[in-house]
Structure 1
């Protein structure tokens, strides 16, 4: 079964980013996260959405 929520370490592995960058993206509200108890978790879909936004922004910059 596919994980629906990822730890910051797991999200970092998926996105090829370090954990501190994941926390920066969360703090800047560029990466959606949820808090369950003391744990901060990232929905798997939020990783895909971040990549899609970054690609769209990059394509937009190229077309200008």
Structure 2
């Protein structure tokens, strides 16, 4: 993948319900992961958004912890 295309993919932002589906986790768990710093998020106005890169980082963290 080219760097420009990777940047566009990385820039994708998911609302909490979308992140819930992507990770197979409940709303409560998603917000707890954000609260303790295990899942990065950003806010746009009153909307909490989770970057695609943060989802990938969280999955990688889980894989490292499982090893």
TM-score tier after normalising by the smaller chain length: 0.7 to 0.9
Off by >4 Å, runs of 4+ in structure 1: none
Please report how far the alpha carbon of residue 57 of structure 1 lies from its aligned counterpart in structure 2 after TM superposition. 1.1
Instruction: Could you tell me which runs of 5 or more consecutive residues in structure 2 were left unpaired when the two chains were aligned.
Output: 1-8
TM-score, normalisation: structure 1: 0.85
For the pair 1:19 / 2:19, whether they are aligned, the reply is no
| 1:7 corresponding residue in structure 2 | 15
For the pair 1:54 / 2:62, whether they are aligned, the reply is yes
Please report how far the alpha carbon of residue 23 of structure 1 lies from its aligned counterpart in structure 2 after TM superposition. 0.4
Distance 1:30 1:48 in 2: 12
TM-score, normalisation: structure 2: 0.81
After superposition, the CA RMSD in angstroms is 1.6
The match for 1:42 among 39, 42, 50 is: 50
Q: SS at the partner of 1:12?
A: helix
